[in-house]
Amino acid sequence: MKTDALFDPLRLPNGRQLPNRLAKAAMEEGLAEAGQLPGPAIASLYQRWAEGGAGLLITGNVMVDGAAMTGPAGIALEAQTPLDGFKHWAAAVHRHAPAGTQLWMQINHPGRQVFAAMGETAWAPSAVALQMGKHSKLFAQPQALGEAQIAGVIERFVQTALQAQAAGFDGVQIHAAHGYLLSQFLSPLANQRTDRWGGPIEHRARLLLDIVDAVRAAVRPDFGVGVKLNSADFQRGGFSEADARQVVELLNGRGLDLLELSGGSYESPAMQGRTADGRTLAREAYFLEFARELASVAQMPVMTTGGIARPEIARQVLASGVALVGLGTALAMAPDLPRRWREGSPLTAPRPQVGWKDKTLASIATMALVRRQLHRMSAGGLPSAADSPLFTLLLDQWRNKRQTARYRRWRAAL
């Protein structure tokens, strides 16, 4: 009898084995409790995914600096952060998941992608503001990082990785995609430095490489270390496919266990199927063409995420030479999709669609729709594909305003 490739195990370079080729990709949950800590809600959500059967669960971004957050309900993990909530989170997964399932923490710094309402300074490679048209004023005006601050960023990634390891997580994924800080350093549009951190791609990649090397040296040999990288930014003059290929070659030989390929940023949300440079992405598996090319030079297993919701598409991804299939929105709408596919169900997860003319608002509303499903599941409910995008956006903005006030009170009390 022919076996289903989706449920073949995958041996990682660190010697540990994933039980199948399906991964829950990162989605920002917005479920932090006071002090930017994880609580019962996020543990409950991840228990749902653990029971759903994916071989690898990657968290939404956990920030390495509580003063640098993508949003007011994000989680932060620093050197002195208490670990009780993180331990409970990891235990909820390991207690309920199939044997061998791993939980990795995505660790991140937002750089300039910080909302002005948060009241914090936005640090970036260069003082280049986000270009979001009439919505640009929503974001803080960035300031360029100095040498000592860059060294501090590297140390923060190391300390967060060590804390994740101590809390019982199985690995970390260093976020260098979607326009966040490490992605900004990689982009010739955002990074206009003339020192050793800017210019040619080998210099623009220096911060990512230094963080990978420092994290890999600090954690256990069997602790997973991965990177999320854009296959391209999909902005004219930005981080290109040729740049991505060079970065992959630079990452080879550095002890990485997994390389996830995605694309886009706040300015060009290709991870939602929309691009700023006019290119048309595939209707499903948006980045497969790029991932296939980059997998041919990568010496570590490659994963791709973006628009995958059907088992036949997931199998095509594996057949192309990609080792792991990332499921994001699909698992927000159907958290047990891997288990159902294993049982032979052809179930396709519905995908939220917002067809508004204002592409920035459409992108924000799409994220709000996904986040609403995560909040439902964290409270024991079921996802719904019938939510109104407008009502959901208004609800999300109301909640965001309350959480921003709570965040600012927390920061002021430190």
Q: Indicate whether 365 belongs to any domain.
A: no
Cα(46)–Cα(20) distance, rounded to whole angstroms?
A: 18
Counted domains in the chain: 1
Q: Indicate whether 176 belongs to any domain.
A: yes
Q: Indicate whether 295 belongs to any domain.
A: yes
Q: Indicate whether 269 belongs to any domain.
A: yes
The pLDDT value recorded for residue 363 is 84
Please list the residues that pair with 260 across neighbouring strands: 228, 303
Phi and psi at 81, nearest 5°, equal -70, 130
Angstrom distances, CA of residue 41 to CA of 6, 33, 85: 30, 9, 11
The pLDDT value recorded for residue 347 is 82
**pLDDT tens track, the chain, 414 positions:** 457 999 999 999 999 999 999 999 999 999 999 999 999 999 999 999 999 999 999 999 999 999 999 999 999 999 999 999 999 999 999 999 999 999 999 999 999 999 999 999 999 999 999 887 888 888 999 999 999 999 999 999 999 999 999 999 999 999 999 899 999 999 999 999 999 999 999 999 999 999 999 999 999 999 999 999 988 666 677 788 889 999 999 999 999 999 999 876 566 554 544 445 444 445 566 678 888 889 999 999 999 988 888 899 899 999 999 999 999 999 999 999 999 999 998 888 888 888 898 878 888 899 999 999 999 999 999 999 999 999 999 999 999 999 999 999 999 999
CA 153 and chain centroid, separation: 18
Q: Indicate whether 345 belongs to any domain.
A: yes
275's CB contacts (< 8 A; 6+ apart) are 234, 264, 268, 281
Q: Indicate whether 180 belongs to any domain.
A: yes
Domain that holds residue 263: 5-351
Q: Is the pTM of this model over 0.85?
A: yes
Tokens describing residue 110 = 């937002």
Q: Indicate whether 187 belongs to any domain.
A: yes
CATH of the domain at 122: 3.20.20.70
Own/partner pairs for 271-279, CB < 8 Å, 24+ apart?
271/178, 271/305, 271/306, 272/363, 272/366, 273/306, 273/307, 274/359, 274/362, 274/363, 275/234, 276/234, 276/235, 276/236, 277/234, 277/235, 277/236, 277/238, 279/234
Cα(127)–Cα(77) distance, rounded to whole angstroms?
A: 26
Angle formed at CA 414 by CA 46 and CA 181, multiple of 5 degrees = 55
Whether residue 118 contacts residue 140, with contact meaning beta carbons closer than 8 Å, is answered with yes
Q: Is 305 helix (H, G, I), strand (E, B) or coil?
A: strand
Angstrom distances, CA of residue 294 to CA of 182, 225, 288, 409: 19, 19, 10, 45
Q: Is 50 helix (H, G, I), strand (E, B) or coil?
A: helix
Q: Indicate whether 368 belongs to any domain.
A: no
